[in-house]
Chain A
């Protein structure tokens, strides 16, 4: 008796225990080995494990897709899950195709995507600035349809000579081929692109607390930074600060702290569209200054939810026309706050808290959130035992998100500490683009009673599980934008702690 004599079902039962390398080894033995080890069900299972999509019952049927070659002919590999697995491209439908940007430096600490035209950079297209251990590296991401292998051209601007001693925790692009970076020492660095090198020009040190976010406002030509002292367990007297820089004079022109002495600012976002119109106000997130050591050591002290119930997080409004003064402050009913928030349509503010992945606030009525996504069920349900990336150690790692919204304001992405991503279709959730039968706008409070996988409605107000990019960083940074050559860009790290940037197109 030989292995070949076993029936197909039994052979599949044996091969399901093998990993991809063993399956390929079997394929290389003979024609029979090649046929049995290439079967789609085997590779489909491996793909599901690899891309961390277990709740396939909520998704449309997964297809391997038909991939056109460069000359338009369909590849003989098309439709095979083995091909999908090997190309590291995730799902064609409905998942995303992925390209990776790897750098020579020891680690990546921050990233920023921007459009060259919007900031008068030569060459047009989309660019990505990456803060690394050596400095800032800028890579052009050309627009338009490219072949998959050459999706983005590697026209890089690399850091110039000289050792970068600080960790660049945030990066922002400035007009005229300049860049700003906030460091862990509190300094704000200004860099200039000269040829294909990024040179450090000047350093401003106005605050000793680590700079955790840097954003540039084109309308006022000002740079805004937020400095968080809690990251270094700094002395209690040191306050978290929001600063306004004049980049032409290279000087701090305004600074603000939280109105309440016990609370500290941890993040901010412009109320308008970040690309062109910032609006007249900034919204900053603040949390109570206390936090427990357990939460501190997990990386994000602002996510500590072991505080007194009165120690609630707050949203603070700053008027940009009045020298960065706080004009309003609204308490929330959450103790924790994920240190990254975003805004849409000059009025909606999106925050994330432990236990409430998404909280939507309306600037016109801030007493209660207009909509909240409740905890995404029992999180362990979403992670299979055979998953290929780390399981969340605590609920906060699963249910509080790094939020990013695309320019149109219709798609909101949340990325958890371990890399898991969720997508909300806000046009359905908030109903702002969904005309009702009688002509009125949809209700903010609408939430279909049945989950999409129960009522055959895929695009609904329920969040969609996108899958995961492996992520080891405490701040799983990611950006979403519509149009162009990519829709998602996120900081990732592999099993060997090597950092890279992933680009993805949502299929």
Chain B
């Protein structure tokens, strides 16, 4: 079976299985195109990823490998154990998302670039969680935003959205 090597922007190589790589739609389509043009080949496929740093790539690959393992477990488990397994997956995902806001940005970008829908959903939800229930000042502080609205503009927004602020 062909090996897939993902090369981060600092040159670090990571070998992953085809099953795990298939979770990355970008890599999967690249692999498909290559097989269509050259047929079955055993040479390792090296995929350079100039937009992804080594640290983030490791994290993404960790997700892909773990999800593949969970998928296999889900297929093999009887229906009675599915609920238990779902709880297990959720707990793992919660722990996986214990990252700094900066790391989360990079994960979102990588998930988007590599087209990993499940990771993208997880990351965007985690990002939304950091906004949820916060005041404008707290959101600014969390995401490093600088206030650029004039007091009049702010007042206008508040006035037209009284239904939500009361």
Contact = CB atoms under 8 A, between A and B. Distances in A.
B61 to A, nearest CB: 20
A7 B108 CA distance: 11
Interface residues on B, range: 35 or more
A77 B160 contact: yes
Contact of A6 (B109, B125, B133, B149): B109
A25 B163 CA distance: 13
Given A31-B148, A34-B149, A1 B120 contact: no
A243 B146 CA distance: 73
A14 interface: yes
A47 to B, nearest CB: 14
Nearest to B146: A30
B124 A10 contact: yes
Interface stretch (A15-23, A172-180, A246-254, A343-351): A15-23
A6 B143 CA distance: 12
Given A2-B143, A6-B109, A25 B134 contact: yes
A33 interface: yes
A26 B131 contact: yes
Chain A residues touching B, majority SS: helix
B62 interface: no
A6 B108 contact: yes
A14 B147 contact: no
Contact of B135 (A3, A15, A25): A25
A9 to B, nearest CB: 8
Given A10-B108, A25-B134, A86 B140 contact: no
Among the interface residues A16, A30, A77, A88, which one has the most CB atoms of the partner chain B within 10 A? A30
Given A26-B139, A32-B145, A17 B125 contact: yes
How many of chain A's residues touch chain B, expressed as a range? 35 or more
A30 B128 contact: no
Given A24-B164, A86-B164, A88-B163, A30 B102 contact: no
A367 to B, nearest CB: 51
A379 B42 CA distance: 53
Interface string B96-126: 0000001001101100100000001100110
B149 A1 contact: no
Interface of B: 102, 105-106, 108-109, 112, 120-121, 124-125, 127-129, 131-136, 139-140, 143-149, 153-154, 157-158, 160-161, 163-165
Interface of A: 1-7, 9-10, 13-22, 24-34, 77, 83, 86-88
8 contacts: A1-B102, A3-B145, A16-B124, A21-B165, A25-B139, A27-B157, A29-B140, A33-B139
Q: What are the 9 tightest A-B residue pairs by CB atom distance, in nearest-first order? A: A17-B128, A28-B136, A1-B105, A13-B124, A3-B143, A30-B148, A14-B124, A14-B127, A31-B148
